[in-house]
A and B are shown apart, each in its own frame.
Chain A
Amino acid sequence: MAVQILMPKLGMSTAPLTLVEWKAKEGEWIEQGNIVLVVETEKIRHDIEAEASGFLHILVGEGEEVPIGTVAGLIAETKEELEALQKERPREVITTAAEVKEAPPVKAAAPVTRVKEGERILISPVARKMAEEHMIDITTIVGTGPGGRIVREDIQKEIEAKKRAEVTPSVYQGKRVKSTIPLKGMRKAIAEHMHRSLSISAQLTVMGEIDMTEMVKLRETLVSQEEVIGARITYTDLFVFAIAKLLRDNPIVNSSVIDDEIKLWENINIGVAVAVEEGLIVPVVKDADKKSLVEISQTVRTLVQKAREGKLTPDEVTGGTFTLTNLGALGGGYRFETVIINQPESAILGTGSITDRAVVRDGQIVIRPIMPYYFTYDHRVIYGAVAAKFMASVTRLLETPTLSLV
């Protein structure tokens, strides 16, 4: 029984293959495992090995282009069989796609892991550092140093290979990669912090609207008195001021779960989320409840400035007991989102942009400046009723800011 020489499927490509070269002549003896045929597709050459020893009978000539699955040749066990084949099936293009349901898979050129699980990789310190900096997987590298140690030269070669690969877009799991952003530094910290927050606590978000009519007026007044006050008051300043007062009356909202205890904090330290180029950072207004509005305003301004310049000290970004993320300035209109708690705090308040909306007041449809809010809380600590009560008090104070005088 003659053995077929099939045109293989190379990786993901379905394009036809070109026969480049037969490594043996018609009728010649070939050995199993030796290369019998060279084919080419989309500029990739591939060697086909003989699957059996025997006499070669060529069906498709060099230079011809044939689909995957074509039988390009046959290997006969004996001279007699060869002669019979030469009579029965002379050289011609025979498409056997119907017969061959699937082309034989070619051994994939998957990255070969050189190191067994748990085995120590011999690598020099400088090579390890370079590999880390260039995000090179050292388990796939064969070291050329003494005793197979991976040395600087090996990593250098890998870096160069990577650079060449980057010129032509690389492919990952069948998709072409446009560019790669290393997940490290601030990005990595944010990623881990956010994921951890969601995985260790029971977060849910209550959302609603606040009528900002009075707050808008109040702020306009404050802005018009900027020179008298000595600061240009922002909505963020006003929110920090208001929340600080309300947290004093709702200590459970100003708490943290630490081990098997809920610690209610005496200090009211309000983190203010600031978007920066690399991501997000939350500097903290310490003892916000003891500060005047002007002091809060000055503190926030300084912290935001430092955040943008990357000059915040560790002390300025730790110790928060509650976080405010005011997304109003980012625009986007009337919308809601589920903000994520900044651990180990128990709640975070997000505020959206103030948008004119139609609302009903005293049986009439009227236009009012409406601000959406999103209050995410940790249900391990704060229950629905407490959250509702807290947000009711926030809403009341922001809708009737005169109450802050009492």
Chain B
Amino acid sequence: MKEITYQKAINEAIDEEMKRDPSIFIIGEDIGKHWGGSLGELAGLFDKYGAERVRETPISETAILGGAIGAAATGMRPIAYLYFDDFLGVCGDELINQLQMKYMYGGKTKLPLTITAYIGAGLSAAHQHSKCLFGWLMNISGLKIVAPATAYDAKGLLKSAIREDNPVIFLEHKVLLLSRSTSQIPNEEYTIPLGKADIKRGGSEVTVVAIALMVHRALAAADKLQEKGISIEVIDPRTLVPLDKQAIIDSVKKTGRLVIMDEEPKTGSAAGEIAAIVAEEAFDFLDAPIKRVCAPDTPIPFSPVLEKFWMPDEEDLIKAINEIM
């Protein structure tokens, strides 16, 4: 076993996969010699694999994703480095129309393509660099969505995403990327299948489904509630598409209560979708209304004080849980 940060986990996953498969290359902004990814997670890869396989581009999201799609359709296995998920709108046509190529061509082509992008608030980077577009992305058919919360999950899931023959977007939370905290991973190679949730903490009275950074806030809240005698089960779906519905439903069958903690405006959020699934498929097991602990339906404030208020935190979660106990 070894200790590893979230940032290092991503670097290792890409490095190992590029070593294993010469058809893999990265394309995007600021990934080359000087930056190695804007938060440094790609450090050393340019020196190791050269400009052919770590292809730096101008600011040109349409070209980055469009080029990656073309390469994927013709036999390569690209990683399109989109920087922030906030910029996905620039390559909107590629995202919502062209990624679905395999389906439109009757399965005659495959599209092994991974998009990586930063998500999340917490760095006071303002609205255009801080969003989690989970709900928005979930509504795009034909795109798998990964949002890991730990270094262990990040490495195992990124390797699976790169090996997947269909388009995957891999979302990295900025706060986690910059965190010095580590998780233990095996020395030997491992992967984590897409579509498998992880029970981050077992409990019996309330199921909390938390996504990405929110997993850590939910775990902290669960510790506090444990002192008050309330037992919380924290489920990290890890991938939103495919979503491990069964793990969530099984947990709700046990606890009868569901709270979803999701760092995005409540309206149209992933939390809403998860709530709907449980209401639809596990209604008879619910012992309380489903609660969503999300952000307000506003743009993300630049002011650190307001941004902190905007982001869901432990106190918000504890308040929601107390309302249904």
Interface of A with B (CB < 8 Å)? 124-127, 129, 145-146, 149, 151-152
* Any A CB within 8 A of the CB of B1: no
Complex: A149 Cα to B283 Cα, angstroms: 16
State the CA gap A361–B36 with chains docked (Å). Answer: 115
- Minimum CB–CB distance for B146 against chain A, Å: 32
**Are A126 and B287 neighbours in the complex by a CB distance under 8 Å?**
yes
Q: Quick check: is B90 within 8 A (CB to CB) of the other chain?
A: no
Asked if B227 lies at the interface with its beta carbon under 8 angstroms from chain A, I say no
Q: Contact: A125 with B284, CB < 8 Å?
A: yes
Determine the chain B residues whose CB is within 8 A of the CB of A129 once the complex forms: 284
CB A217 to nearest CB in B, in angstroms, measures 61
What's the interface size class on B, roughly? 10 to 19
A-B CB contact pairs (8 Å), 27 listed: A124-B256, A124-B286, A124-B287, A124-B288, A125-B283, A125-B284, A125-B285, A125-B286, A125-B287, A126-B284, A126-B285, A126-B286, A126-B287, A127-B287, A129-B284, A145-B287, A145-B288, A145-B324, A146-B288, A146-B323, A146-B324, A146-B325, A149-B288, A151-B256, A151-B287, A151-B288, A152-B287
Rounded to whole angstroms, the CA-CA distance of A126 and B284 in the bound complex is 5
- Which residues does B use to contact A, with CB under 8 Å? 256, 283-288, 323-325
Q: Are A126 and B324 in contact (CB under 8 A)?
A: no
CB distance from A356 to the nearest CB of B (A): 59
Q: What is the distance, in angstroms, from B18's C-beta to the closest C-beta of chain A?
A: 50
Give the residue among B283, B284, B287, B325 with the most A Cβ atoms within 10 A.
B287
List the B residue with the shortest CB-CB distance to A150: B287
Knowing that A126-B285, A146-B323 touch, tell me 7 more A-B residue pairs with CB under 8 angstroms: A124-B286, A124-B287, A125-B287, A126-B256, A126-B287, A145-B324, A152-B287
Which 6 A-B residue pairs are closest in the complex by CB-CB distance? Answer: A124-B287, A152-B287, A129-B284, A125-B286, A126-B287, A125-B283
Q: How far is the CA of A145 from the CA of B205 in the complex (A)?
A: 13
Min Cβ gap B48→A in Å is 55
Residues of B within 8 A of A151 (CB): 256, 287-288
Residues of A within 8 A of B286 (CB): 124-126
Q: Which residues of the other chain, B, contact A146 by a CB distance below 8 angstroms?
A: 288, 323-325
CB distance from B309 to the nearest CB of A (A): 25
Distance (Å) between the CB of A225 and the closest chain B CB? 58
A151 vs B257: C-alpha distance when bound (angstroms): 11
What is the chain B residue whose CB lies nearest that of A145?
B288
Output the least CB separation between B205 and chain A (Å).
10
A127 to B325, CA, bound (A): 14
Closest residue on chain B to residue A147 by CB atoms: B323
**How far is B177's CA from A289's CA once the two chains are assembled, in angstroms?**
81
Measured between C-beta atoms, what is the minimum distance from A388 to chain B in Å? Answer: 56
Q: What B residues does A125 contact at CB under 8 A?
A: 283-287
Complex interface: chain B residues within 8 A of A152 (CB): 256, 287
B323: chain A residues within 8 A (beta carbon)? 146
Nearest CB of chain B from residue A103's CB, rounded to whole Å: 46
Taking CB as reference atom, which chain B residue is nearest A132? B284
Expressed in whole angstroms, the Cα–Cα distance for A127 and B286 within the complex equals: 8
| Bound complex: CA A129 to CA B287 (Å) | 10
Q: What's the least CB distance linking B143 to chain A, in Å? A: 33
Q: How far is the CB of A214 from chain B (nearest CB, A)?
A: 60
For residue B139, give the distance in angstroms from its CB to the closest CB of chain A: 27
Chain A residues contacting B285 (CB-CB under 8 Å) are: 125-126
Task: With both chains docked as a complex, state the minimum distance between the C-beta of A152 and any C-beta of chain B, in angstroms.
Answer: 4
Inter-chain CA distance A129–B283, complex, in Å, is 10
Shortest beta-carbon distance from A344 to chain B in Å: 35
- Cα–Cα, bound, A124→B325 (Å): 12
Contacts of B284 in A (CB 8 A): 125-126, 129
Residue of B nearest to A154 (CB): B287
Q: Which residues of A contact B287 (CB under 8 A)?
A: 124-127, 145, 151-152
Separation in Å of the A125 CB from the closest CB of chain B?
A: 5
- CB closest residue in chain A, given B279: A125
Min distance, Cβ A258 to any Cβ of chain B, angstroms: 37
- Min Cβ gap B305→A in Å is 31
Q: In whole angstroms, how far apart are the Cα atoms of A199 and B325 in the complex?
A: 49
Question: Looking across the interface, which residue of chain A has its beta carbon closest to that of B253?
Answer: A126
- Closest B residue to A130 using CB positions: B284
CB distance from A193 to the nearest CB of B (A): 28
Residues of B with C-beta under 8 A to A126:
256, 284-287
What distance in Å separates the Cβ of A187 from its nearest Cβ neighbour in chain B?
23
A143 CB → nearest B CB, Å: 11
B267 → A minimal CB distance (Å): 24
Which A residues touch B256, using CB under 8 A?
A: 124, 126, 151-152
Residues of B within 8 A of A149 (CB): 288
